[in-house]
Amino acid sequence: MVLVKSISGIRGTLENIPGKSLSDLDISKTILSYINFVVKKTSKKKVVIGRDARPSGDRISKLVIKILIENGIDVVDLGLATTPSIGIYVKTHSLSGGVVISASHNGIEWNALKLLNDKGEFLSKNIASKIINADTGNYKKSNQQGKYNFDKNALEEHIQKILSINIINLNAIKKKNFKVIVDGINSVGGLAVPELLKKIGVKKINKLNCIPNGKFSHNPEPLPENIIEIRNIMKNNDFDLGIVVDPDVDRLCLLDEKGNPIGEEYTLVLAAKQLLAKQEKIITCSNLSSTMALKKITNQANGKYFSSAVGEINVVEKMKEYNADIGGEGNGGVIYPKTHYGRDALVGIAIILSLLAETDSSLSALKNELPQYFISKNKITFNKDFNLLVDKFKKEYIDYNVITIDGIKIERKNSWFHIRKSNTEPVVRIYAESLSKEKARLLANEVIEKIKKI
């Protein structure tokens, strides 16, 4: 039994035990608070709702719709929909907000409510905190019920928005006659990714796990160790590209023509490379735990790079502050503001296919052209005052670049390490990056040993 409340909403397992899982009561309280702190602050009083394909989503969706309508809020139901499609729909139709029912990369025994504002973006930390901590005991239903509508066109609207991007070369993609294999994890990506590929000119599409029945064919987090099936298929066949997405299609994992994952850290870097070829002095952004390769290629092109605290909303706020052209996270999340301030695997696919087509290169060759770095990701139990840890490392590494906006990060010339406190468990996360896997591992271990002595 698990229930986690955070700035992106609430998520939990499905035992339906109040306060200890994603129960009907916890869902109801969250939606009532969302109505009070977000929806009622707008003039339209209209919310869009969509979900990934996991089996629990239909029941939760009906419950959320019922609560919204009983409280006078109009609802547009998109049914099965990607998270970025829902965000774009909010913005395009000028709605009060959106509710995404998806536990993202978590397993089938989980689900979640992700809450969006009237721009189709995740809520600010301040508003999210008010929602998850609010007392709804005296909340009264509206005397007037909201209206319900179903809209099946959200994906088409999303794709059309992507097709209008000027850095996407549809003619070049069509001429390349790419052969692509897609692993949709039997969720909404199985619908959305092949449809996008068709619309941008890819005719040879092999579908793997693309039936949206929510029966995940493997661990839904698109890490190399979880996508063995598609890797084996690609090694024994002739493909230009492999695509894997998570259940709600905001994270993108790519495999090269040999079936080798390029690493989620490099999804954003490749997308940025396409922008660098199209315009001068671009501004890029990623979080502190993402690869320094993005910073390197940005600086090499006389652009500017900025880093943010970990978390999509933090990246978005930093991007807005500096008017960044592209940004995201090292988990395969690409944020392209001209379509939407949210992670979007579909826009990442279109941009990177344009890069492949215009350079007439293979994905492995493009990856090899980029600065080569490796990250070691670790966590250890830590029950002491986290401020003691920060103070120790600040003093010890005073001669290096020290960043303390989110835990503590120490930057060297060709390496860094980042220590963050978990918001949900008594652990600290230690990420380290260097020029080889072994150097990254040794750096991480060095940091871990220092933490243990505190």
Q: In the sheet that 374-381 helps form, which strands lie side by side, from edge to edge?
A: 374-381, 427-434, 416-421, 408-411, 401-403
Q: Which of 152, 181, 206 is the last residue of a domain?
A: 152
Q: In the sheet that 304-308 helps form, which strands lie side by side, from edge to edge?
A: 304-308, 283-287, 326-329, 333-335
Terminal-to-terminal C-alpha distance of the chain: 32
Would residue 369 count as lying in a domain?
no
> What integer is the mean pLDDT of 247-262?
97
Would residue 80 count as lying in a domain?
yes
192 neighbors 183 (Cβ within 8 angstroms): no
Same domain, yes or no, for 311 and 176? no
18 neighbors 25 (Cβ within 8 angstroms): yes
Same domain, yes or no, for 123 and 165? no
Same domain, yes or no, for 271 and 242? no
- Look up the CATH number of the domain holding residue 215: 3.40.120.10
The range of the structural domain enclosing residue 270 comes to: 265-361
> What integer is the mean pLDDT of 344-357?
98
Structural domain total, the chain:
4
Q: Which of 152, 186, 217 is the last residue of a domain?
A: 152
Tell me what pLDDT residue 424 has.
61
Same domain, yes or no, for 232 and 270? no
112 neighbors 9 (Cβ within 8 angstroms): yes
Q: What does pTM read for this prediction?
A: 0.95
> What integer is the mean pLDDT of 16-44?
94
Q: Is the pLDDT of residue 226 over 70?
A: yes
Q: Which of 255, 286, 313 is the last residue of a domain?
A: 255
Q: Is the pLDDT of residue 46 over 70?
A: yes
Same domain, yes or no, for 396 and 356? no
Counted residue by residue, the chain has a size of: 454
Q: Give per-residue pLDDT as tens, 125-176.
A: 899 999 988 877 666 677 789 999 999 999 999 999 999 999 999 999 999 9
Same domain, yes or no, for 286 and 350? yes
* Residues facing 307 on adjacent strands: 286
Same domain, yes or no, for 118 and 225? no
- State residue 401 phi and psi, 5-degree precision: -75, 115
CA dist., res. 85 & res. 340, Å (int): 9
Same domain, yes or no, for 330 and 423? no
Q: Give per-residue pLDDT as tens, 271-327.
A: 999 999 998 899 999 999 999 999 999 999 999 999 999 999 999 999 999 999 999
